[in-house]
A and B are shown apart, each in its own frame.
Chain A
Amino acid sequence: MEKRVVFQSRILPYLLLAPQIVVTLVFFIWPASQAVFQSVLQEDAFGLSTTFVGLENFEVLFTDSHYLSSFYVTVFFSTSVAVVAIACGLFLAVQADRVIHGATAYKTLLIWPYAVAPAVAGVLFLFLFNPNLGLFVFALRSLGYNWNHALNGEQAMSLVIVAAAWRQISYNFLFFLAGLQSIPKSLIEAAAIDGAQPVRRFWTIIFPMLTPTTFFLLIMNMVYAFFDTFAIIHQVTMGGPGGATNIMVYKVYRDGFVGLDLGGSAAQSVVLMIIVIGFTVIQFRYVERKVHY
């Protein structure tokens, strides 16, 4: 039975909504509109001379081969992070779901990395893989493999992917575990009685029932890799070598805060804003309705 609340006063609902609206206006709409405004201006850092340049900042951006390469780097990075993190999260969730003894301990331990801040994760991996003093680097060298992500773009990229995905595995693990537990046991038992082996049971029953969760996680992981990995890049590679890991969020920071190129940096954030809006639309239209969590 549905219950409907009817407000007596016409003002009260607006009053109740007001705090949320104020927060949204002050912390989201206002800065976002500032960014849009800034993106059509060419201005020196101090704001002493300001010229309206229309879409010139965007024009410069999209004719700059380094910006386009940053775009591809971002897409590759985000997709890889999402795939790696989802695959590992799913694998661990399936394994943890089958464990009977000490299951809580496993689960707790697997969730831990999520509590680690990206910056700390970055430092951690930097220490392991630092070309000058990293533990793994010495191990790899003794095996005859030369690790130097200060110069090797592929190595740098794999390092930041692993560092970024590592942290996200816990998040995916949580959702997958919840998803697995909501699959009726009777279904799996029936399949088992019919003689289906664990692998077959997984691909024909469990995985299809997890697709909504997987799709949801794909979006969440992409958003994470796009926007939350700044600290990892900053700590580990600073966008290098030769721009090999210069993802868009990092480029906005370098150009805006280090380079003081306000117009160009604002234009880049507007592009990022459009990408977020895109992700959000996909999530609301296709995911929210189908995911059970």
Chain B
Amino acid sequence: MNFKQTAIFAAAAALVAGTASSASAVTEIQWWHAQAGALGERVNAIADNFNRSQEIYKVVPVFKGSYSETMTAGIAAFRAGKAPHILMVFEVGTGTMMAAKGAVIPVYKLMADTGVPFDPKAYLPAVTGYYSTPDGKMLSMPFASSTPVLWYNKDAFVKAGLDPNKPPKTWPEVAEYAKKLVAAGSNCGFSTAWFTWTQLENFSAWHNVPFGTKANGLGGFDTEYVFNGPLQVKHIQQLADWQKDKTFVYGGRDNLGNPKFISGECPIYVESSAGYGSFKAGAKFAFGASTLPYWPDVQGAPQNTIIGGNSLWVMSGHSKVENKGVAEFFRFLSLPLIQAYWHAYTGYVPITTGAYEEMKNVKFYNDYPGRDIPIMELSGKPTTENSMGLRFGYFAQARDFIYEEIENIFAGKKTAKQGLDDAVTRGNALLRKFEKEQK
């Protein structure tokens, strides 16, 4: 990190080094989150800086376990009348949270009610779109947002006679590279983490085809899954076929396959941009990042990717002063300096265009090439109905179903068409159940 970049963080610290005299009545804001380890420390640092920047409110971050555990804890607390002020929810929980009218206060409303300055246009649309109504009203505050990118092992590329500075851009190229890598002695061409998120959800957005009807569920509860379209079927079947000569290897659920990349077994690997930290720490080879591959015969591809990660929901049932504190904290969180700090240290993308500009100004991306790939993927084109985000009830369960069917496909028990059809049928049953509950 060069001097200018260091200066940014010094400035961030200076900005918040207000008078630290202990105020008499501090309003406490409970912030339940799910960021463990190093990320948790960043969360604490941000809260700490906010607390030192003023003396009316005190944000108290509380680590509540995994995403599911945090969400369940928040819901249980709400049912017991003891909800925290701010609850961190992973992106798949968005549908459930949004439907919980009365339990949450939408961010745009919170800002308007409390009179805290708020400009929705300052945020990156591809990030906030996921957490907004179709007409652009922000429901929750994006916090950690990432998007899938293609990681590759430069050393393995060199060994196989491939140009380490020319990563594959399209799926046919990925296959071509992978076959060469296998021919050069690799046990695996490419693999992928977060299969449903990278190879179906983002795959659909990236090729501008729908994953569900009604703008992927953003337009209403009467949505249906349609990720069994011809393009998705073709892609999954292709992956299944590529398994035969180890061009493609299924790495397991979620990011269980990460050791495949870190150990050097799979030289090409699709994983979240937030995978950077663990690769940096574990990989004993030079690696690079590139954009998510696409099928060149699909018109308009690549479109833009969608995010994953989490956002902050404001829980209802608190006093005006406390709500005002939450709003002030969100304003603080959106400051370019805070966003730049978060972006630089975690591999998550900034949520405001201001922060992105700031990073470009200090030439951050010259020193850390590839760290702006996620932003370019997200913001390369104006979002469409198919690429704004996803909003489905019981989506976490639907992803489980998709995993099950995908595993049936890759184990050769079903064709891609059968498997995806079955996943859609099972998912739609959940959507109908969810719709029924909302009445």
A residues with CB within 8 A of B: 42-49, 51, 66, 130-133, 150-153, 238-243, 254-255, 257-261
Query: B402-435: contact bitstring with A at CB < 8 Å (1 yes, 0 no)?
Result: 0111011011010000000000001000100100
A66, A132, A240, A257: residue with the most chain B Cβ atoms closer than 10 Å: A132
A132/B253 in contact, CB under 8 A: no
Contact of A45 among B96, B250, B405, B411 (CB under 8 A): B96
User: For B404, what are the chain A residues with a Cβ–Cβ distance below 8 Å?
Assistant: 240-243
B72/A260 in contact, CB under 8 A: yes
User: For A258, what are the chain B residues with a Cβ–Cβ distance below 8 Å?
Assistant: 68, 396-397, 400
Q: Is B101 an interface residue (CB 8 A)?
A: yes
Sample 18 A-B pairs with CB under 8 A, ordered by A number.
A42-B433, A46-B100, A46-B103, A49-B437, A49-B439, A132-B257, A150-B256, A151-B250, A240-B404, A241-B404, A242-B404, A242-B413, A257-B72, A258-B68, A259-B394, A259-B400, A260-B71, A261-B397
Measured CA separation A255–B430 after assembly (Å)? 11
Measured CA separation A243–B72 after assembly (Å)? 23
Q: Which 5 residue pairs of A and B lie closest in terms of their CB atoms, listed nearest first?
A: A259-B397, A241-B407, A150-B252, A132-B259, A242-B407
B75, B78, B103, B400: residue with the most chain A Cβ atoms closer than 10 Å: B400
B residues with CB within 8 A of A: 68-69, 71-72, 75, 78-79, 96, 99-103, 250-253, 256-257, 259-260, 263, 265, 394, 396-397, 400, 403-405, 407-408, 410-411, 413, 426, 430, 433, 436-439
Across chains A and B, the number of contacting residue pairs, with CB separation under 8 Å, is 94
Measured CA separation A239–B397 after assembly (Å)? 13
Q: How far is the CB of A280 from chain B (nearest CB, A)?
A: 29
Q: How far is the CB of A279 from chain B (nearest CB, A)?
A: 28
A contact face: mostly helix, strand, loop, or mixed = loop
A242/B405 in contact, CB under 8 A: yes
Measured CA separation A238–B256 after assembly (Å)? 11
User: For A260, what are the chain B residues with a Cβ–Cβ distance below 8 Å?
Assistant: 71-72, 75, 96, 394, 396-397
Measured CA separation A289–B376 after assembly (Å)? 73
Q: A130-B259, A132-B257 are in contact. Are A43 and B96 (CB under 8 A)?
A: no
Q: A47-B79, A241-B411, A260-B72 are in contact. Are A132 and B403 (CB under 8 A)?
A: no
B257/A44 in contact, CB under 8 A: no
Q: Which residue of A lies closest to B254 (CB)?
A: A238
Q: Which residue of A lies closest to B411 (CB)?
A: A151
Q: How far is the CB of B91 from chain A (nearest CB, A)?
A: 14
Q: A151-B407, A151-B411, A257-B68 are in contact. Are A45 and B75 (CB under 8 A)?
A: yes
Q: How far is the CB of A145 from chain B (nearest CB, A)?
A: 15
Q: A131-B252, A257-B72, A258-B400 are in contact. Are A242 and B411 (CB under 8 A)?
A: yes
Q: A45-B96, A47-B79, A238-B253 are in contact. Are A254 and B400 (CB under 8 A)?
A: yes
Q: Which residue of A lies closest to B439 (CB)?
A: A49
Q: How far is the CB of B338 from chain A (nearest CB, A)?
A: 30
User: For A132, what are the chain B residues with a Cβ–Cβ distance below 8 Å?
Assistant: 251-252, 256-257, 259-260, 263, 265
Q: How far is the CB of B79 from chain A (nearest CB, A)?
A: 5
B263/A48 in contact, CB under 8 A: no
Q: Which residue of B lies closest to A132 (CB)?
A: B259
A46/B252 in contact, CB under 8 A: no
User: For B263, what are the chain A residues with a Cβ–Cβ distance below 8 Å?
Assistant: 132-133
Q: How far is the CB of B439 from chain A (nearest CB, A)?
A: 7
Q: How far is the CB of B282 from chain A (nearest CB, A)?
A: 11
Q: Which residue of A lies closest to B93 (CB)?
A: A260
Q: Which residue of A lies closest to B67 (CB)?
A: A258
A46/B78 in contact, CB under 8 A: yes
Q: A132-B260, A132-B263, A240-B253 are in contact. Are A151 and B437 (CB under 8 A)?
A: no
A46/B79 in contact, CB under 8 A: yes
User: For A152, what are the chain B residues with a Cβ–Cβ distance below 8 Å?
Assistant: 411
Q: Which residue of B lies closest to A156 (CB)?
A: B407
Q: How far is the CB of B435 from chain A (nearest CB, A)?
A: 11
B75/A48 in contact, CB under 8 A: no
Starting from the known contacts A150-B251, A259-B397, 14 additional A-B residue pairs (CB-CB under 8 Å) come to A45-B75, A46-B79, A46-B102, A48-B102, A49-B437, A131-B252, A132-B251, A150-B253, A240-B253, A241-B404, A254-B400, A257-B72, A261-B397, A261-B433
A151/B410 in contact, CB under 8 A: yes
User: For A42, what are the chain B residues with a Cβ–Cβ distance below 8 Å?
Assistant: 433, 436-437
Q: How far is the CB of A67 from chain B (nearest CB, A)?
A: 12
Measured CA separation A178–B71 after assembly (Å)? 48
A152, A239, A241: residue with the most chain B Cβ atoms closer than 10 Å: A241
Contact of A240 among B72, B260, B403, B413 (CB under 8 A): B403
User: For A48, what are the chain B residues with a Cβ–Cβ distance below 8 Å?
Assistant: 100-103
Measured CA separation A46–B89 after assembly (Å)? 14
Measured CA separation A259–B405 after assembly (Å)? 17
B96, B252, B265: residue with the most chain A Cβ atoms closer than 10 Å: B252
B99, B257, B426, B437: residue with the most chain A Cβ atoms closer than 10 Å: B437
Q: Which residue of B lies closest to A131 (CB)?
A: B252
User: For A238, what are the chain B residues with a Cβ–Cβ distance below 8 Å?
Assistant: 253
User: For B400, what are the chain A residues with a Cβ–Cβ distance below 8 Å?
Assistant: 239, 254, 258-259
Q: Which residue of A lies closest to B410 (CB)?
A: A151
Q: How far is the CB of A61 from chain B (nearest CB, A)?
A: 12
B405/A44 in contact, CB under 8 A: no
